[in-house]
Amino acid sequence: MGYLWLTSLLDAFLSDALRKAPPSELHRQRVLIAACLFALPFGVSYLLLVPFTAAEVPTLLLSGCYAATLLLARRARSLTVPAMFMCLSMVVSYVVSIFLSSHPEGGFHASSMLIPAFAVYLLGPRLGLFVTGCLAVCLGLLHPMYRVRFTPGLTAIPLDEFTVMCASAAVSLLGSWVLSTLHSTSRDTAHDALERTLATLRESEGKLSSLIESSDDLVFSLDTQLRVITANTAMRQFYRRMQGQELVPGRRFCFPRTPELQLQWDPRFNRVLAGERLRFEQEEHSEEPLEDPVHVVLDISISPIVGEQGRVMGLTVSARDITARKLAEARLGEMHRSLVDVSRYAGMAEVATGVLHNVGNTLNSVNISAGILNEQLRHSRLSGLRKAATLLGQHSEELESFLATDARGQRLPGYLLALAEELEKEREVLRHEVGALSEGIEHIKSIVVMQQQYARAGGVLERLPVPQLIEEALRLHAGSIERQGIHLVREYADVPPILVDRHNLLQILVNLLSNARHALMESKISDKRLRIRIRLGGGGDQLVIEFSDNGVGIAPEHLARLFSQGFTTKKHGHGFGLHISALAATEMHGRLSCSSTGLGHGATFTLVLPVEGPRENQRPSHSLELS
C-alpha cells in the first residue's frame, strides 16, 4: 500500500495497451519508465551545473532520448519499440562519449556492463544480444582502430596492450549478456512453471469449488482464528435463514441469534484445531418466528486442514441434512414394531391352534374319565347296602333271632362281605378316574399358563435357564409332535442361565420348532428325528442352540432368501416366522443362521446368543448367516 502512489505515477506514462499487459510485462515497463525518470533529471541537472562543451553533447542527446522514450511509451502498443530506442540510445551515447573523450580508458568503465543486463531484461536474450553486439563491436574493434589512427598519443598505455584491453572489454560485455540471459531464462522458466502451477491450482480450485457448490451439504472452512475462509451456497443460505445475516469471508464465525450454540461449538473447534476429527448429529431449529421455520437434523463432520509438517492450518465443516432419513428410520421402526406384532399374532394363532388341539385331546380324556365315573355311580352297589340297612332296620328288635332263624338274615352277613369287596373295587376305580381327571385338568391349566407366558409383552430381561424354555416350547407343540411320530433327541450341555428377553427367545424357539415340525411332516421318511443341542461357544461368552431335523431340507437357491420378509416355501405360509426370528435374534445381539446340504437332507438352524445379554455400548449386527 505504501508504494501504490509510485506505481500509479509510473503507470501514468504508459499507454492503455501497456497498462493491460500481464504482471511480469507490466513490471518491466515500469522499470523502463523508472529508469527514464531517474536518468532524465540527473542528465538535465548535470547539463545545468557544468559548462557546456563538446563533451556534454552525448549527455544532451541521451537526455533527449530519455524524454523521447517516455513519449513513445505513452503511445506504444508494446514494450519493444520504446525499450529498443532507449537501449540503442544508451549505446550510441556511451560510444560517442568515449570517442569524444580525451580519456580513452573510459571504454573500460564498469557502467558499460549495465547496458547488456538492461537490454536483456527489457528486450529478451535475442534483441539484447543485438544491443550487446553493437556495443561490443564499437568498444572492442572500432574504438582501438579509431585511437590508433586518429589519437595515438592520448593514452599512456601501449597500443598493443590497449587493443587487448578493448577486446577484453568486448568479451566482458558478451559475458554480461550470457549471465543476464541465463538469469532471464531461469527466471522465465521459473515464471512459466509458477504460471502452470497457478493454472493447475486455479483449475483444481475451480473443480473443487464446483464440486462443493453442486453439493446440497453445508460446507465451510475456517482458519485458526475461526475466521471464515470459504462457504458454499447451501451453507450461506442456511446461515442466513438461521442467523439472519450473511456469512462473510474474513469475519469470525459466530451464532448471533443463538449464543448458547457458540458455547457448544467453540470447544469443538478447539479440539479439531488440536488435530482431532469430530463427527456427531445435532438438531437445528430457528429461534425467532419466521415465515418458513427451520427444523433439521444434521450429520456434522469437522476435520482439520493440515499443512506442511503436520501443522493445522484451519478446519473444514461438512453437514448433511438427515431429517428425511431420521423420519424414515422412525417410520421403519414403527413398521418393524407393527411387523413384529403381526408376526406375534400370527405365531400366537398358530400356537393357539396347537393349544386348542392339546386341550381338546386332554378334554377327551377328561370326558372319558367323567363317563366312567358316571357309569360307575349309576351301577354302584350302594343300593344293595341301602336294602341291607333297611332289612336290618325292620328287624332291629329281633335282630338276633332274625340272623339265626330267618333265611334272609342267615344270608345277610355273607352278602355284606361280598358287598364290601365290590364297593372297595368301585372305590379304586373311582379314585383312579378322579386322579386321571385331575391330571387332565392340570394339563389343561399348564397349557393355558404357557400360552399366557408366550403371549405376554416382551422387553424385560431375565436370567433364565434355556433348557427350561425349550421344554416349554416343546410342550406347546407336544400334541402335534407326538401325533406325527417325531422322535426328539435332546443334547443339553451344562450351561448357565442367560440374561435374555423371555418373549423374544420363546418366540424364536416356537418358530424354529414349528419350522422343523413342518419340514418333518412334509418328509416321506418314517424315522422322523429332531435333534436339539445346547452348548457354549465363543470361549464361554456365547450360548449356541441348534435344531437339526432330517426333513425335506432346503434348496441352495432358497438359502440366500430364507430370512427375507415374506419369503416362504409353504403353501399356506405367511413368510414372517423366520424373518421375525432373525430380527428378534439381532435385537438380543445374537444371530440366527441356517445350513442345509440340499433337498431331502434336512436342515440345521443355529441360534447364537450372548450369555450376559446385550451390552449398552454394543450395536446389533443386522447380518444373517446362511450356509
Q: What are the DSSP calls for 127-196, one per residue?
A: HHHHHHHHHHHIIIIIHHHHHHHH-TTS-SS-HHHHHHHHHHHHHHHHHHHHHHHHHHHHHHHHHHHHHH
Nearest to 609 by CA among 451, 430, 470: 470
d(CA 274, CA 487) in angstroms, rounded, equals 68
Classify domain 458-626 at the CATH topology level. Heat Shock Protein 90 (3.30.565)
Encode 334-346 in three state secondary structure.
HHHHHHHHHHHHH
Interhelix angle 143-150/80-100, rounded to 10 degrees, is 30
- Inter-residue contact 285 to 294 (CB < 8 Å): yes
Where do the structural domains in the chain lie, given as residue ranges?
A: 4-195, 215-321, 327-453, 458-626
Q: Which three cell numbers stand for residue 386?
A: 341301602
DSSP 563: T
Q: What are phi and psi of 298, to 5 degrees?
A: -115, 140
Task: State which of 372-386, 410-424, 550-564 shows the largest mean pLDDT.
Answer: 550-564
pLDDT of residue 387: 76
Residue type, 19: R
Which positions ≥6 away from 38 have C-beta within 8 Å?
none
pLDDT of residue 3: 67
Residue type, 215: S
Nearest to 500 by CA among 458, 560, 471, 536: 458
**pLDDT over 70, % of the chain:** 83
- In the block, cell 462443493 appears at 212
Render pLDDT for 326-360 as a digit per residue (tens, 0 to 9).
888 888 878 767 766 666 666 556 556 555 655 66
- Inter-residue contact 86 to 80 (CB < 8 Å): no
Task: State which of 273-287, 411-425, 593-607 shows the largest mean pLDDT.
Answer: 593-607
Label residue 538 by pLDDT band (50, 70, 90): confident
Q: What are phi and psi of 624, to 5 degrees?
A: -115, 130
For the residues of 478-537, what is the DSSP string, one character each? Answer: HHHHHHTTPEEEEEE-----EEEEHHHHHHHHHHHHHHHHHHHHH---SS-EEEEEEEEE
Q: How many CA atoms lie within 13 A of 214 on its CB side?
A: 6
pLDDT of residue 318: 92
Render pLDDT for 461-493 as a digit per residue (tens, 0 to 9).
888 899 988 888 887 777 678 878 889 999 999
Measured from the Cβ of residue 399, the count of other Cβ atoms closer than 10 Å reads 13
Label residue 257 by pLDDT band (50, 70, 90): confident
Residue of higher predicted confidence among 288 and 271: 271
* 3-class DSSP assignment, residue 316: strand
Mean pLDDT value of segment 142-166: 76
Render pLDDT for 82-116 as a digit per residue (tens, 0 to 9).
999 989 988 888 888 888 777 767 667 777 888 89
Mean pLDDT of the chain, nearest integer: 80
pLDDT of residue 626: 37
Q: Is the pLDDT of residue 574 over 70?
A: no
DSSP 222: E
- Inter-residue contact 22 to 191 (CB < 8 Å): no
The architecture of the domain spanning 215-321 is 2-Layer Sandwich (3.30)
d(CA 255, CA 265) in angstroms, rounded, equals 10
- In the block, cell 542528465 appears at 43
**203-217, 230-244, 248-262 — which is least confidently predicted?**
203-217
Interhelix angle 407-455/466-476, rounded to 10 degrees, is 120
